[in-house]
Amino acid sequence: MLKTKRVYDLPDENDGFRILVDRLWPRGLSKEKALVDLWLKDIAPSNELRRWYGHDPEKWKEFKRRYFEELKQKRELVDQIVEKAKKDVVILLYSAKETKFNNATALKEYIETLNT
């Protein structure tokens, strides 16, 4: 099972395996406090795509299209998440303030489309 959660939110006992999917480490958060089990920074959108998007909801549809294209080249990393999610709850952690239009939400959607 896949879920998303903001890395700044308090960890929960039901979180399962926590994967940070951002390219940059969250500001002001220590590794101990974040309780991240795995940091997959290479699965995050490219710096170019991240800067272009800038968390602009009007660019969301195009951002997802471009990010999904990037993810096709990162199949090994995607498969790593898929395999872990078959055995455990996996939380895709992100640091953006935007809870709906962020790379973790897009990644979750991409993975879910692989399984349909």
Structural domains counted in the chain: 1
Start-to-end CA span in the chain (Å): 14
Give the domain range for residue 106. Answer: 2-114
Question: For each of the chain's 116 residues, which pLDDT tens digit applies?
Answer: 999 999 999 888 888 999 999 999 999 999 888 899 999 999 999 999 999 999 899 999 999 999 999 999 999 999 999 999 999 999 999 999 999 999 999 999 999 998 65
Question: For the purposes of burial, counting CB atoms within 10 Å of the CB of 61, is it exposed (0-12), middle (13-18) or buried (19 or more)?
Answer: exposed
Claim: this prediction has a pTM higher than 0.85: yes
